[in-house]
């Protein structure tokens, strides 16, 4: 595979690190695991400048993950690993995660908040108010899993309409519990304040036509590159955007320029220390 756009600035907004523990089978779980250094090395080989990660320990196993321990580990691991940035995880039923987020969002390597209603097992309609009030007050960007019944993209729209200062990335463009690939795009279109984006971190993104359709519907400026590394191979996910039938300008926006602006990365060097 030849990368025809090696010099295009690239930010992977949706990464993880650690051991997968979903009971998928020993070999499959091992394939979907990767420690922070391995995630960073794969990204560098794939011409990805920055990867924003959250710890798998804070998300899996389903319903019994420990986001407090995961956040504490990421707080140490990320600044020690060039090329990585941090999402701090909030589970709204774990008050300590709000305290961690309040502190960690002050770190230059922590760019926002990660939530996962499906893995943590709560409906966003019940807990979203507290989450987005907290994040809007701090100007914190939020990345959320989306597309399943606890995290339906349209359920976020009223929250983002009420909190104009909040900003949200709906993960997994094309993901839908009902096999409808349009959920994320329709939510972006419905947003009153244009404060919702989507990312490409879904196996669905490898469908021919999905990226191109999304660009036509909402514009490349509302789409960010994400890989879900190490669950998926980051270089393959990047090449899907490189190979998309879109303009070079749109490609540059999706791969990195949108994230550069949204995450405040201008002037930061991924190879320098903190």
pLDDT in tens, 47-69: 999 999 999 999 999 989 999 99
Nearest to 104 by CA among 67, 129, 132, 130: 67
pLDDT in the model for residue 5: 85
Whether residue 269 is contained in a domain is answered as no
CB atoms within 10 A of CB 29: 15
pLDDT in the model for residue 183: 98
Is residue 271's pLDDT more than 90? no
Whether residue 87 is contained in a domain is answered as yes
pLDDT in the model for residue 158: 98
Whether residue 153 is contained in a domain is answered as yes
Is residue 4's pLDDT more than 80? no
Task: Name every residue whose Cβ is closer than 8 Å to that of residue 217 and which is 6 or more positions away in sequence.
Answer: 185, 189
Whether residue 216 is contained in a domain is answered as yes
What is the tally of structural domains in the chain? 1
As a whole number of angstroms, the longest Cα–Cα distance in the chain is 47
Q: How far apart, in Å, are the Cα atoms of 198 and each of 42, 48, 59, 79, 223? A: 23, 19, 20, 26, 5
pLDDT in the model for residue 219: 98
Q: How far apart, in Å, are the Cα atoms of 59 and each of 65, 107, 121? A: 5, 22, 10
pLDDT in tens, 33-44: 999 999 999 999
Is residue 72's pLDDT more than 70? yes
Q: Which pTM value belongs to this model?
A: 0.97
CATH number at residue 213: 3.20.20.140
Mean pLDDT of the chain: 96
Check: CB of residue 214 under 8 Å from CB of residue 183: no
Whether residue 274 is contained in a domain is answered as no
Whether residue 271 is contained in a domain is answered as no
pLDDT in the model for residue 65: 95
Is residue 1's pLDDT more than 60? no
Is residue 2's pLDDT more than 70? no
pLDDT in the model for residue 173: 98
Whether residue 6 is contained in a domain is answered as no
Q: For 197-212, what is the mean pLDDT?
A: 95
**Structural domain boundaries, residue 67:** 11-263
pLDDT in tens, 102-142: 999 999 999 999 999 999 999 999 999 999 999 999 999 99
pLDDT in tens, 136-187: 999 999 999 999 999 999 999 999 999 999 999 999 999 999 999 999 999 9
Check: CB of residue 193 under 8 Å from CB of residue 160: yes
Q: How far apart, in Å, are the Cα atoms of 25 and each of 20, 28, 32? A: 10, 5, 11
Nearest to 42 by CA among 17, 7, 21: 17
Nearest to 187 by CA among 156, 163, 141, 215: 156
Whether residue 2 is contained in a domain is answered as no
């Amino acid at each position: 595979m030849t990368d025809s756009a090696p010099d295009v600035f690239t930010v992977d907004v949706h990464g993880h690190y650690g051991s997968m523990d979903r009971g998928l089978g020993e070999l499959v779980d091992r394939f979907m695991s990767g420690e922070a250094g391995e995630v960073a090395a794969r990204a560098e080989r794939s011409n990805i400048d920055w990867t924003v990660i959250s710890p798998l320990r804070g998300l899996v196993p389903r319903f019994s993950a420990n986001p407090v321990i995961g956040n504490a580990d990421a707080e140490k691991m990320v600044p020690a690993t060039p090329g990585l940035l941090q999402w701090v995880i909030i589970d709204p039923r774990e008050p300590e995660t709000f305290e961690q987020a309040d502190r960690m969002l002050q770190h230059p390597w922590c760019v926002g908040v990660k939530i996962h209603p499906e893995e943590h097992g709560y409906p966003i309609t019940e807990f979203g108010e507290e989450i987005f009030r907290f994040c809007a007050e701090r100007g914190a960007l939020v990345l959320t899993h989306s597309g399943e019944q606890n995290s339906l993209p349209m359920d976020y729209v009223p929250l983002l309409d009420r909190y104009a200062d909040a900003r949200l990335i709906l993960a997994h463009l094309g993901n839908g519990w009902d096999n409808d690939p349009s959920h994320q795009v329709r939510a972006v279109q419905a947003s009153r304040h244009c404060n919702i984006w989507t990312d490409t971190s879904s196996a669905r993104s490898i469908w021919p036509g999905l990226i191109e359709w999304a660009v036509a519907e909402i514009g490349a400026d509302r789409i960010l590159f994400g890989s879900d590394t190490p669950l998926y191979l980051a270089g393959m996910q990047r090449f899907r955007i490189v190979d998309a039938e879109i303009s070079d300008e749109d490609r540059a926006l999706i791969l990195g320029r949108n994230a550069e602006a949204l995450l405040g990365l201008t002037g930061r060097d991924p190879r320098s220390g903190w």
